[in-house]
Chain A
């Protein structure tokens, strides 16, 4: 049981490339922390630094009140689940789980108890004598989990553990991981690029981009109040609609104090639009031409273009073409393609950012 604290952690490679540019956060005892971000944002590097597989070139990593910068991975009291599971292919399931315990000189009787207990929890009891190649992807994943839990470490580290599984199994394993972590209440750090996994697993969500933290907080808080346009478009699917406030059409609709503020970009989530001609006080109305419709059963996504052409805002992931707006409406009934509609969003649903997208202003 332990806290994990990162203080101004940095990683600069020999060539001068700065992969991690000063990161601070704390994961409380028993909490589930998820690091999320696009590929190349440094999230896996950061996790590997916590594990001790990458050197730390600046700052401190503290596990359970002990700075671990110079401590070997084996002595950090952590266990890690790798993306490709990294099972020992020449060892049986039993030996895969027992290996870490044997290296620590534990008595065989105690090893047997622990491995059997883990196998019971993970429903691997019938497979202890098999080799990894005889297992399915989901079973291998469970062995990797088993190898982590038999050690009873202070911290679990997960490096995109579900990305090699098919969609259905991924959801099932996601729930299993969460239940297991609750039950063992072991502090965990989990890396993923899947924002849905991030939202559903995290107690604390750390959104990363370009080696820096964009926002840290409770997943719902982050969804409701994204700190930057990057977070706004990365968390949530489909992404938030972002519109520059250059045109008079939008600006004139906003109330006085917002108009006077530093706001340069307006963001509205697809589900916060309503198809209506009535604009409430402080709200925003847009005229759209329907370009495409996606019906997924419970909800319908309407893709429309603004009637007055707009330059889009350059927000990297999930970015929309200039002037395109996504509206999410419940049910399967929606407008027809080519139809002209008016959508409105209430005043309390508006997200305002500075023109560079780096700061939320309202």
Chain B
């Protein structure tokens, strides 16, 4: 039985909840409802006149081929970033979990990229791979590759994926390492005595026991690629070339801030919000059930 606390003062429990409620209302419900309201309005570019247009913004959006393109870009981008950052982080974490002499230093170095702001990370990667100045572009050219993320759409995508993955590995690494360290050593030793070679031990014991961590990270990473990679994309490619790296969240910004279409931009953020809520709900409903043991 869970113990429930009884307050003598009726007001006190509400007061205790207030800070959290205020933060949620001010920073989530208010902007979200503003976005929903705005998505039904059409405003002129100076913000002087607005008129209620119903679902017109949505209709216009779904008639735009660029919108479908940004959806596809988002799917490709998020799949690549989530898959790569999770698997590379897991690989690094399994290595750091071994009893190595330099393990503490290694762990610290692994965590550093997380302390770099997304836009700064974007600028770093942009300079490293800048076609004419980048120190890594020359060797790539030397290998006969016509490296140009400013013009080549695939190169641009590769570059933003690399930057986004690099940024997220630290976070995933930390959680994977903690997850690995929570697995009792004796369970793996029992596996070794039971005749499982290291690779088989990893897939049949470590990986299943790590699944709650993996699931949590999957949810966090998807939210990350949907929203938090904005800074990286803005700094590295600005959504280009020719919209090749314009994800849904970048398009919200591009249409609203740069294009001045506030209604259309609001409609996009509403759709984006619905997609992320749906994805998270699906993950909790179907995946979480399978990762409990």
- The interface of chain A, by Cβ under 8 A from chain B, is 51-53, 72-74, 78-80, 82-84, 86-90, 99-100, 103-104, 131, 133, 147, 151
Contacts and interface: CB of A to CB of B under 8 A. Distances in A.
Given A88-B205, A131-B293, A53 B200 contact: no
B189 A53 contact: yes
Contacts of B192: 52-53, 72-74
B189 A99 contact: no
A84 B193 contact: no
Interface of B: 184, 186-187, 189-197, 200, 204-205, 208-209, 293
B161 to A, nearest CB: 32
28 contacts: A51-B189, A51-B193, A53-B192, A53-B193, A73-B193, A74-B192, A74-B193, A74-B195, A74-B197, A78-B193, A79-B193, A80-B193, A82-B186, A82-B190, A84-B184, A84-B186, A86-B190, A88-B187, A88-B190, A89-B187, A90-B208, A99-B191, A99-B194, A100-B193, A103-B194, A103-B195, A104-B195, A147-B194
Pick from A52, A72, A79, A86 the residue with the most CB of B within 10 Å. A86
B184 A86 contact: yes
Given A53-B192, A80-B189, A82-B190, 12 more contacts: A51-B189, A53-B189, A73-B189, A73-B193, A79-B193, A80-B193, A82-B186, A86-B186, A88-B190, A90-B209, A99-B204, A103-B194
Contacts of B191: 88, 99
B209 A89 contact: yes
Pick from B192, B195, B205, B208 the residue with the most CB of A within 10 Å. B195
Pick from A74, A78, A87 the residue with the most CB of B within 10 Å. A74
A16 B184 CA distance: 27
A271 to B, nearest CB: 40
Contacts of A82: 186, 189-190
Pick from A79, A90, A131 the residue with the most CB of B within 10 Å. A90
A82 B192 CA distance: 13
A170 B103 CA distance: 40
Pick from A52, A78, A82 the residue with the most CB of B within 10 Å. A82
Contacts of A80: 189-190, 193
Given A86-B189, A86-B190, A99 B184 contact: no
Contacts of A83: 186
